[in-house]
Structure 1
Amino acid sequence: MRPRSALVGALLALTAACATTTTAPPGPSPDTSRPLLVASGADLTTPGSPAGTGVRRTLIDEWNRLHPTRPARIVELPNATDDQRSELIGALQSGSATYDVVNLDITWIPEFADSGLIRPLPASALPDDDFLPQAAAAGRRGGRTYAVPFNTDVGLLYYRTDDLLKSGTRPSDLAAFHSVGDLLAAVRPLSHNTYTTQLAAYEGLTVNTLEAFWTAGVNLVDGEGRYTGTEDDLRKGLDELNRLTIANYLNPASLEADESVSLAQFTQGASVLMRSWPYAYNRLDAALDPSSPLTRFGVARLPGVAALGGQSLGVAATSTRPDDAAELIRFLTGRSSQRALLQAGFAPARRSAYGVEDSACTAANPAAWYYDRPVRKGSEPSASPTPEGRRPGYTTLLWCALREARARPATAHYVTFTRLIQREVHRMLATHDPGVDETAHRLQERLARALGGR
């Protein structure tokens, strides 16, 4: 018979051997022979610049200068948002691309997180309280943070100043209007092409639709992504949206317009007012003759409730360098990077980039509601070297508009939801057949199923 100590030793050895054989194998070693790859849409902020020379590439170049042993490279995805999403999902699911950081539209984050395509972020990369709260919240899912805001966005109202004045409306009057429909009724005598917006069957139409619904006091989805609307709610929201078209306020080109088409229409003088995003400011500033009062323009808060947009950065679940990827995200969303985004025409997600206190966002402060771009003379450059120095009114306006912006529904089934809205609402606006009542009935039957993934 073996001594007890020998038996115990044998059992311990056997246990150790079993533990060794059942331990999971280590993951793949980080491939430091290649750059960190950042998958992102095209940079629309730099007018007249060749592809790939926008502020995002500038920031990557600065990272590479500071981290020569861990360089990064941007991989640009297709311009169309739906194509970007499809390509990203296909690449991440198949492992055909070695992306480390992905730049996601904020509406995609729940889907990518729930599908395991992006991984939770470490504490070192989490957003702090300097970030716009709604933008930071969009990156959280199930109590964990999956993405950090890179840039944000909000719907704004652009106006051609002299045409607006001819209609009897001053820029300072714009804060008094509670909806786009109310505003259009006031400026209608000037032109049947008063307003240009994005109503083609793509995400821009969903944004316009939700803004009309929210302005009418209608919420279709709760905080858990469940449908809560009624047919009466849908009818009320569609009536508000339909106000844009029934009295010939709308530039007809809007029905097939995306952001680039609506911007071209407004630049050419085809409408007095335009709903667009902050990136349009620099584009207009560069496109319109700065010495001519006939091309003076301004920008204001969108009457009613404006939608929050933007992109956030997450670490791809397939990245073999998640720590380096998280550090790159921390750099790209840092304070100095955010200030560079503002100068280039993006809306940063950090409060500190604007240098504006929340106390400035009051009804009594004109800068919180509109900014009328002054006419510049001679060869004065149109680019702003320091936005807070050259355009303090615009910077204040932008931050105050962002504070009030509302996020689109947070659901893993957002794509199903938005495609249903686009199909049914575009048909109503473009043909008026079916009308509001029938469209509301059709949506009521389908929206709950769409948000349930069916």
Structure 2
Amino acid sequence: MRRTPLACAFAGLTLTLAACGGGDGGPSEGDGKAAAGAPLTGRGPITLATGKDRSGNMQKMVDAWNRAHPDQQARVIELPDEPNDQRQQMIQNATTRSDAYSILNLDVVWTAEFAANRWLAQLPEGPGGLDTSKLLPATVTTGEYRGRLFAMPLTSDAGLLYYRTDLLEKAGVADPPSTWQAMWAACDKVKALPEGKGVDCFLTEVGKTEGLTVSTAEAINSAGGTIVGPDGRPTVNTPQAKAGLDFLVKAVKDGRMPKAALTLDGEGGRRHFQAGKVLFHRQWPYQYDLANKTDGSSKVAGRFGVAPIPGPNGPGAANLGGHNYAISAFAKNKATALDFIKYMADGAQQKANSLATSQAPTVAALYDDPDMVKKYAFLPTLKTAIEKAKSRPSAVKYGDVTSAIQGAVYDALGGRTSTGQALTGLQSKLGQLTTAQ
């Protein structure tokens, strides 16, 4: 799977930034060294830097590796739960050229930044290397930078709409909503029920975290707008983008979302849904297994369904998420790290992990696997969502880009600026960040 390299452009939504390759104090890549593949050597202990292992299944997979590789033990290093904090700790580790992290579990939009700064080792493909031919094509592009593979897709993601089947049934609503207006109408019917008292209508992440960038991208894309155009230039100051942002702002202002929405992160939202406090919840696939647990941690087990996210005139445009494994350029035992990635990316391992956690796999055939479909009936919906999903802007200075989006949108959500002012200011700020040299 190869793409023609474009000077400082990454197909579609990738931003072309000032300094074209140097970010967060990183060196320029004008000499092309960042893209040069080098043999991955060294065997011995390795570490995996990752976000929270909420299911405990990652550790089980690592334990199985360790039993089979007594001289090449892997150790999980759990980073903070919030993606912004994970990214910052990984950057701090890289800028000091530390070998503390061997493998990095990267959000899909971090590849460009980490590869351009030469913080990652290029991954070999083909015989003896990694095989991406069996993966969903949309996931493969998230691990590439300038046509070369720097991160192996391990899990994918696309935003889904979780909804309370029991409450919709009581309200006489036969199908989950496919439009924003249908969602509000269904909510009004549910809230008129005794069972609907105190239940919030809708929740998506609007706290000042990475989740806000995701929610913003989904709302704008669903309304037919974009944050960045195919040429890498910002396109956020448009009527379509305003319609998307207006949807989020009005949902907060009109009380469609809970008062706590502006402070909840993804895990806070999950707990809110599992406590039975919200009717419609935009969330990632991982929530499915957790919300269906019958150990007392979820009050909605067996009483919810999953559908595509709605848009203004029909199903919306989900955001493409997921996580990829990359090898730190400063790791000691890169050969072991590569073998570990092969082990974790294997189809059998992905299937076992998905069955245990409801995380979306990247191996395409698993979406038609009988065992998988039997447990997760929503897999065809998820596959379609991933194939049609839109990406957040991927950028060499991703921190600056996502901070600009979060700042502008959060001010609009809090009523400090109008949506028009927020988008005008964001257009200008992104324009400065995307000025090519």
- Normalising by the smaller structure, the TM-score range is 0.7 to 0.9
* Residue aligned with 1:326, SS: helix
Match of 2:349 among 321, 337, 343: 337
Matched AA of 1:134: A
The residue number in structure 2 matching 1:20 is none
Note if contact 1:104-1:312 (Cα within 8 Å) is conserved in structure 2.
yes
Match of 2:252 among 221, 225, 245: 245
Instruction: Give 1:392 shift.
Output: 4.7
TM (normalized to structure 2)? 0.80
The residue number in structure 2 matching 1:446 is 429
Matched AA of 1:427: D
Instruction: Tell me the C-alpha RMSD between the 2 structures.
Output: 2.8
Note if contact 2:51-2:81 (Cα within 8 Å) is conserved in structure 1.
yes
Q: What are the residue-to-residue correspondences of 1:344-355 with 2, within 5 Å?
A: 344-345=356-357, 346-355=359-368
Distance (whole Å) between structure 2 residues aligned to residue 419 and residue 62 of structure 1: 39
Q: What are the residue-to-residue correspondences of 1:17-416 with 2, within 5 Å?
A: 32=43, 34-44=44-54, 46=55, 54-123=56-125, 124-170=128-174, 173-174=175-176, 177=178, 179-191=179-191, 193-223=200-230, 225-286=232-293, 296-303=303-310, 304-345=316-357, 346-355=359-368, 387-389=372-374, 391-416=375-400
TM (normalized to structure 1)? 0.78
In the alignment, structure 2 segments of 5+ residues that lack a partner are: 1-37, 192-198, 311-315
Deviations 1:257-312 (Å, cap 9, x if unpaired)?
11222122222222211111111111111158699999722222212111111110
* Residue aligned with 2:135, SS: coil
* Residue aligned with 2:378, SS: helix
Matched AA of 1:267: Q
Choose 1 or 2 for highest CA Rg: 1
* Residue aligned with 1:286, SS: coil
Distance (whole Å) between structure 2 residues aligned to residue 425 and residue 453 of structure 1: 25
Distance (whole Å) between structure 1 residues aligned to residue 308 and residue 70 of structure 2: 43
Note if contact 2:236-2:426 (Cα within 8 Å) is conserved in structure 1.
no
Matched AA of 2:424: H
Deviations 1:384-440 (Å, cap 9, x if unpaired)?
xx5444x2513333333322222222221222111111112112112x231222222
Question: Relative contact order (alpha carbons < 8 A, sep ≥ 6): 1 or 2 greater?
Answer: 2
Does residue 1:418 correspond to 2:428, yes or no? no
Distance (whole Å) between structure 1 residues aligned to residue 416 and residue 186 of structure 2: 28
Distance (whole Å) between structure 2 residues aligned to residue 89 and residue 387 of structure 1: 36
**Matched length:** 385
* Residue aligned with 2:278, SS: coil
Distance (whole Å) between structure 1 residues aligned to residue 40 and residue 212 of structure 2: 45
Distance (whole Å) between structure 2 residues aligned to residue 323 and residue 63 of structure 1: 15
Higher helix share: 1
Change (3 A) 1:434 1:392: closer
Note if contact 2:293-2:301 (Cα within 8 Å) is conserved in structure 1.
no
